[in-house]
Homo-oligomer: A and B are copies of this chain.
Amino acid sequence: MVGNSKRVEHYGGTETTTNITIFSSEAEYLDAMSQPPPPPPEVHKVCLPPSRTTFQKLVQRLSEIFFPDAPLDRFKNQTWFRKLVLGLQFFFPIFVWAPNYNLKLLQSDVVSGLTIASLAIPQGISYAKLANLPPIVGLYSSFVPPLIYSVLGSSRHLAVGPVSIASLVMGTMLSEEVSYTDQPILYLQLAFTATFFAGVFQAALGLLRLGFVIDFLSKATLVGFMAGAAIIVSLQQLKGLLGIVHFTTKMQIVPVLTSVFERTDEWSWQTIAMGASFLLILLTARKVSMRNKKLFWVSAAAPLTSVILSTLIVFLLKSKLPMVKTIGHLPKGLNPPSSNMLYFHGSYLGLAMKTGIVTGILSLTEGIAVGRTFASLRNYQVDGNQEMMAIGFMNMAGSCSSCYVTTGSFSRSAVNYNAGAQTVVSNVIMSTTVLITLLFLMPLFHYTPNVILGAIIITAVIGLIDYEAALKLWKVDKLDFITCLCSFFGVLFISVPLGLAIAVGVSVFKILLHVTRPNTAALGNIPGTHIYQSLRRYREALRVPSFLIVAVEAPIYFANSTYLQERMLRWIREEQEWISANNESTLKCVILDMTAVTAIDTSGVDTICEVGKMLQKQSLQFVLANPAGNVMEKLHNSNVLDSFGVNGMYLSVSEAVDDISSTWKSQP
């Protein structure tokens, strides 16, 4: 408390002077004595954070980056056996719920499991076609991955299987370089390899605890991306719905619409009529379920019902409906192993890796977002890194058993939740149902028309167009809305991965823009308090005469140090102009409120130094208020503190103002 003691000395000096003053009258003397100098305002020293070695700082920093949830905390002070159990539970969440599993839970899980199976079978076939894969691969993918997830996953409501976005992206990216009609085996190999890489990438993110990578897909980006993808997916279904044979292989809106209207001669009215009527049925069912959450089973049962109905119609009228294309022969039997089809060499390896990483990120984002949504509804936690590992291992296993990329599907998970699922056993039930289908019911799909798959897909993806969320973005944050538009139009007109990249770029640019041009404000005192607030925002705040208090609302970095230096000098210039225009008392002290300066780098330190020097030349006092711990540390390390001295730092603006003005008063 050097500053404080120095000031006390000063007051002592003043008192001595008073004693030797000769007063003209006793009354005057008494008067002077009855007004003792005001007590020195209490000043608290700004202290450095507890000193730590570079290694300690590094450890703390790394643990904040990689272990923000402190996963090892729960192992503290536990017995050896308990630690083993906790460890097992950590890696296999099945051990958390399995011991308490009972018949009542099973009952709920059977009902929900059967419900999602009725949705998973038609959707599996449809999404496989979206990825340009044989329909049977969609069913395979609804069998193995859910079983693996039920052992490793920590969400209780996630319904695992193929999803529309990842299917679309895989289909787009692979078919840009390899034709699925000319080279079906290579295409299939690449799809499995991409799935393998997606799994490796996902598991690696989880193992290396780099889960924050997916945070860079902001909500705004996803709203735009999903809407764009939904439109792209729906447009692709025009092929099936209109019965067009020669359709473009491109995905963007312009070539697809051109292709649709150039091929009007291929439109088949039977197909259109069938597609339109089933689409109508499905959309109505969706509407009914949305209106009344209890009727969720209407939209859940509609796809399978439509498949059965349309298959019956085609089977009965097959001679009269030659134009309506059907799925055709599907092989009976379980998933064949596909590890021999993984492709680790040759010219398409890069394509497979790229596709794997993009679909991997997208499916992770969807799976984790869905898991978190339902976890927060039921008030339990889903660990992001653990989910990544579960989804990753599930895809790695999937790629060796003829499955393509799978994750938690939003629509099916919602149905699962509404149907009363209690644990991941509902996924096991679904798997079993798919198993029975694969073993015995495959021939029944022979006459299922392709058009119905298109209708099912459109109904599933239409919910991804969330215009209400986009409106909210516009209302709350215009820049977020622009990000959303970029990703929407990027996906529609350029390409799916590029649209995504543009949106991520815009999001990052937004952060950098905020860092480059941070807010600064002149503060005033709110009368009767120790609070200093922006003069512009609080009408009741008052300027403190002879002081200029500037708050910088961002870390001071290389990216904004030049700007902040200029801006601070402009604040001072404007204040001086204002003072001379209004004949106020001259400016004597500039206080920099550093409360919101949460970090600083070497350029920032130089800026503080530079501003200090410039103000010194103008004979202005320059003090800092409330520098944060790490900022203080860096100021200290760079010896800037030497030029400020202990008196140049205050714990709050209020103490700075009180102390400095009392120093002025005691210096006549």
Q: Chain A: residues with CB nearer than 8 A to chain B?
A: 42, 44, 47-50, 54, 57-58, 64-65, 68-70, 212, 215-216, 218-221, 376, 379, 384, 472-473, 475-480, 507-508, 510-519, 526, 528-531, 533-534, 536-538, 540, 553-555, 557-563, 566-567, 570, 595-596, 598-599, 601-603, 605-606, 610, 613-614, 617, 628-630, 634, 637-638, 651-652, 654-655
Contact = CB atoms under 8 A, between A and B. Distances in A.
A651 B531 CA distance: 8
B596 A220 contact: no
Contacts of A384: 562
B65 A513 contact: yes
A49 B536 contact: yes
Nearest to A513: B65
Pairs A-B, 4 closest by C-beta atoms:
A218-B558, A553-B598, A596-B596, A476-B638
Contact of A537 (B47, B511, B570, B652): B47
Contacts of A601: 218, 220, 476-477, 479-480, 510
A64 B634 CA distance: 28
Nearest to A478: B54
Contacts of A477: 601-602, 634
Contacts of A508: 508, 512
B563 A507 contact: no
B595 A596 contact: yes
A511 B379 contact: no
A613 B559 CA distance: 37
A524 to B, nearest CB: 13
Given A218-B559, A531-B44, A518 B598 contact: yes
Contact of A566 (B69, B216, B510, B531): B69
A500 to B, nearest CB: 14
Nearest to A519: B598
Given A42-B529, A47-B537, 4 more contacts: A44-B531, A64-B517, A215-B561, A530-B654
A219 B637 contact: no
Given A601-B480, A637-B475, A379 B68 contact: no
Contact of A563 (B215, B476, B533, B598): B215
Given A476-B634, A553-B628, A596-B596, A603 B219 contact: yes
A327 B379 CA distance: 81
7 contacts: A49-B534, A216-B559, A476-B602, A476-B634, A479-B601, A508-B508, A510-B601
Given A531-B44, A637-B476, A219 B602 contact: yes
A603 B479 CA distance: 13
A570 B638 contact: no
A602 B41 CA distance: 43
Q: How many copies does the complex hold?
A: 2
Nearest to A508: B512
A376 B610 contact: yes
Contacts of A554: 598
A628 B606 CA distance: 27
A553 B519 CA distance: 15
Nearest to A484: B602
Contact of A216 (B219, B533, B558): B558
B560 A519 contact: no
Given A215-B561, A478-B54, A514-B555, A528 B42 contact: yes
A511 B476 contact: no
A537 B629 contact: yes
A510 to B, nearest CB: 8
Contacts of A558: 215-216, 218-221, 507
Contacts of A652: 529-531
Residue from A384, A516, A598, A606 having most chain B Cβ neighbours under 10 A: A598
Contacts of A479: 601
A570 B478 CA distance: 32
B476 A529 contact: no
A325 B562 CA distance: 47
Contacts of A50: 536-537
